[in-house]
Amino acid sequence: MIRRLLLAAALLVVGAAAHAVEPSERLADPALEARARTLSQQLRCLVCQNQSIDESNADLAHDLRTLLRKRLAAGDTDKQALDYIVARYGVFVLLDPPFEPTTYMLWLGPPLLVLGVGALLAIRARGRSDRDQPPLTEEERARAAALLSEHG
Amino acid sequence: MLVEIGHFGLVLALLVALVQGTLPLVGASVRSRQLMDLARSAALLQFGLVALAFAIFMHAHIVSDFSVRNVFENSNTAKPMLYKVTGVWGSHEGSMMLWVLMLTLFGALVAALGRLLPATLRARTLAIQGLLGFGTLAFIIGTSNPFDRLFPVPADGRDLTPLLQDPGLAFYPPFLYFGYVGFSITYSFAIAALIEGRIGAVWARWMRPWALTAWCGLTIGIAMGSWWAYYVLGWGGWWYWDPVENASFMPWLLGTALLHSAAVCEKRDSLQRWTILLAILTFGMSLIGTFLVRSGVLTSVHSFAVDPTRGVFILVLIALVIGGGLLMYALRAAGLNAGQSFAPVSREGALVLNNFVLCAGMATVFLGTFYPLFAEVWSGVKLSVGPQYFDKTFVPILTPGIFAMVIGPVLAWRRGRLTAALWRLAPAAIGAALVPAVVFAFDREAPPAALAGLALAVWAMLGVLADLADRGGAGKQPLGAVWRRIRHLPRGTWGYSIAHFGVGVLIAGIVVSSAWRSERIETVRSGDTIEIVGRTLHFVGVTEQDVANYHAQRAQIVVERPGSAAMTLYPERRWYPVARSQTTNTAIATNGLGDLYLALGDSDGRGGWVLRAYYNPLVPWIWFGAVLAALGGLVSLSDRRLRVRARMTRTSAIAAPAGSVEPG
């Protein structure tokens, strides 16, 4: 909830500013505009609480959206446009952090955890089923009794 | 005067909590009936004192007593009465009061309802709950006193943050806190069991209803919070993976795992140690959720220094509760019985997979939430972890869990047959293949991930129905008999069926609303029209008026759709002069299958207004699904009470046959 309070504070800072993407910012080329929208969802609004520039109504987000569109209109690839912005604002601006030494643990943590614990569970389950067979179910017990009485 | 009585009540409650947290523990170890019984009266008294303090605090807000600093900072005479009441928990101090009120309420409930609990277990559980109350009350009195006075008394207050002056946000903290704090009782039960050195089906039977109760509250709380974000933030998103949301989601994930493992514990006398550990960690996550986020440490490491006393107090409290709990676990868990064994393919096996998936998912959310903090501390790099990270990690981890959620209940306890189970679920599998195929036929550009998600949702929903039909003996009996059998299935079976169906509904809502959302953002003038998904929006104009404590700009938009009556929507912007802040009040028209979502943006000063129109298909299903899940929890809960009573009156001669329709 405090984040929401802070978000309220963020809204307070920008006051009556506009709301996320503005009609006036849009590029004429729909394909280029679509790329700009996708990219702007991956860029953090630096003065807000955990919002992308696509969602934010802060002035800085507006400036970044305009900058991003300028780069795309100038013929940048998606990567070049992002690199351009990262070079100016740091890696903090990327909501989708790149895979590099500082983020190895971030990206590798979940798969390693799943594989490691999964393997442990599998080994335990195998060991257990070798060691002690689970007791027979009622159904199996009944069948065994029937077979025994048939032959006995 | 009243305010001083409230303050005094808190201090008395602190002392009572100290008594409740110590003497009964001694009593339980020396088997002194009197000392043990002290826990009950202390728990009731502590609740009474905290409730009194809370009532006085609320009274100060209602009568706008600006001599109380908290009221001055968060209220205003012009504020509507509803928000004077709900503004009580809008501030830090107030939400701490709500927290401790819930904590003592749960203690009092155990004291009042737990007559049949073994005397030592009850005394120890209440004592641990008393210690938790002591820690929280000490925090409130020491660092966040809600009864702090102001002199001279100001004429009017600063008003509550306008975003909080909203019915959705007004009522969701109580649910959220009910959930968070509800897990304190399962924690206390777990520590008490560790002290006792014994745990069995009886322990799980006592603990599980509390876990279910807390879980239902947390589910509703998270759903309400997400709904609030959806309609108030003005761009149609409903989940942002931000630290505050994650903070409530992590205990929810662990709490869900706890419910399932406690079921195994109760029904099959297995997974006891794991259940204890989960109970400790779930409450640990609740604490981290409320306190650490509240301290602002997640926003920036530096904000911790803003109020060092609070920050240090919080850290010590968390370290004591989690560290103490884990220490107890390390010392005592080995002595607990290991439990019954089971084959990997069995209902227990499926529930272990469920626990594994939920815990791995929780660990991922934890890593994503706290990694920026760690990275900044270790390497000085400022990083962001946004929704894209969670989409790439959390979603693939949870997916097999949803798949198994359908198969698990169909498997027998102890040892099941996978092929037989899958055969019974054949109708669900056919549906899961058919629905995405039909959708693809209509929309050739549908993203593959969305089609896969759709298949999963259909699998979950139809799987539940196939399971119910199978339990009713469909195909082997006449339809009337099947229906009668299904109707008389135990409440527990109904409970999990409703909840699992709700998960399917939720997934359908998430997948469809993210993949097939439409958006139009235009600058419009009086008389302009916009087309969106077969609807024509006529922009009539904007009127301005002063209402209560805000100034409103209200747009009138007539929506026409061929074949149905025209309707008028009024998206609004509000300016709160006292708080100097602007809010958006979106207008949403829903028909249960999709939302038309309108938000009014800026004026260009020349009669043009930015209008943001979205059509979000199936988005209401997200909240329907969550409500169904919580409803399932409540239905399960009603089953439990009946059975506890039944056990009291009947002899224990009725043994359920193996692999029967016992709820999972």
Of A15, A125, A134, which has the smallest distance from its Cβ to B582's Cβ? A15
Chain B touched by A130 (CB under 8 Å): no
Of A2, A129, A134, which has the smallest distance from its Cβ to B244's Cβ? A2
Q: What is the pTM assigned to this prediction? A: 0.87
Chain B touched by A66 (CB under 8 Å): no
Contact assessment for residue B447 and residue B515, using Cβ atoms and an 8 Å cutoff = yes
| Model pLDDT, residue B294 | 66
* Euclidean distance between CA atoms A49 and B245, whole angstroms: 13
Looking at residues A90-106, what average pLDDT do you find?
Answer: 85
Stretches where chain B sits below pLDDT 50 are 300-305, 642, 645-664
Test A138 with B523 for CB contact under 8 angstroms.
no
Q: Quick one: B651 exposed, middle or buried, by C-beta within 10 A (0-12, 13-18, 19+)?
A: exposed
B221 to chain A: closest CA residue:
A1
B49 to chain A nearest CA, in Å? 27
* Euclidean distance between CA atoms B66 and B148, whole angstroms: 11
DSSP class of A132: S
- CB pairs below 8 Å between A and B: how many? 174
| Model pLDDT, residue B308 | 66
pLDDT band of A136, cuts 50, 70, 90: low
This model of the complex carries an ipTM of 0.79
Geometric angle at alpha carbon B562, from B560 and B563, rounded to 5°: 115
DSSP state string for B380-415: -------HHHHHHHHHHHHHHHHHHHHHGGGSPSSS
Residue B579: its chain A contacts at CB < 8 A?
12
Beta bridge partners of B544: B553
Measure CA B142 to chain center.
29
**pLDDT tens digits for range B185-211:** 999 999 999 998 877 777 888 888 899
Test B95 with A4 for CB contact under 8 angstroms.
no
pLDDT at A133 over 60: no
List, edge to edge, every strand of the sheet that includes B587-590. B518-524, B609-617, B594-603, B587-590
**pLDDT tens digits for range A27-36:** 777 778 888 8
**SS3 (DSSP) at B270:** strand
As given in the structure block, the two tokens for residue B355 are 């626990």
C-alpha dist (Å) from residue A27 to A35, A36, B100: 10, 9, 53
**pLDDT tens digits for range B365-396:** 999 988 888 888 888 888 888 888 998 999 99
DSSP state string for B439-457: HHHH-TT--HHHHHHHHHH
Pairing of β B594-603 and β B550-561:
unpaired
Chain B touched by A100 (CB under 8 Å): no
How many residues does this entry show for chain B? Answer: 664
Q: What is the b/e burial string over B467-485, where b = at least 16 CB atoms within 10 angstroms of the residue's CB?
A: bbbbbbebeeeeeeebeeb
A2 to chain B nearest CA, in Å? 6
Residue A119: its chain B contacts at CB < 8 A?
none
B236 to chain A: closest CA residue:
A55
DSSP state string for B460-481: HHHHHHHHHHHHTTBTTB-HHH
pLDDT at A1 over 50: no
Test A11 with B583 for CB contact under 8 angstroms.
yes
* Euclidean distance between CA atoms B382 and B345, whole angstroms: 45
Q: To which residue do tokens 């139809």 refer?
A: B462
Three-state DSSP string of B97-110: HHHHHHHHHHHHHH
Residue B243: its chain A contacts at CB < 8 A?
3, 50
pLDDT at A3 over 60: no
**pLDDT tens digits for range B396-424:** 999 988 988 888 888 878 787 888 888 88
A111 to chain B: closest CA residue:
B393
Beta bridge partners of B270: B339
DSSP state string for B590-656: E-SSEEEEEEEEEE-SSS-EEEEEEEEETHHHHHHHHHHHHHHHHHHHHHHHHHHHHHHHS-TT--P
B371 to chain A: closest CA residue:
A106
* B113: CB partners within 8 A, 6+ apart: none
Q: What is the b/e burial string over A44-73, where b = at least 16 CB atoms within 10 angstroms of the residue's CB?
A: bbbebbbbbbbbbbbeebbebbebbbebbe
| Model pLDDT, residue B660 | 37
* Euclidean distance between CA atoms B267 and B204, whole angstroms: 9
Of A102, A125, A138, which has the smallest distance from its Cβ to B383's Cβ? A102
Geometric angle at alpha carbon A24, from A19 and A29, rounded to 5°: 120
Test A95 with B386 for CB contact under 8 angstroms.
yes
Q: How many CA atoms lie within 13 A of B558 on its CB side?
A: 10
pLDDT band of A151, cuts 50, 70, 90: low
As given in the structure block, the two tokens for residue B418 are 């996978």
B371 to chain A nearest CA, in Å? 7
B413 to chain A: closest CA residue:
A137
Q: Quick one: B265 exposed, middle or buried, by C-beta within 10 A (0-12, 13-18, 19+)?
A: buried
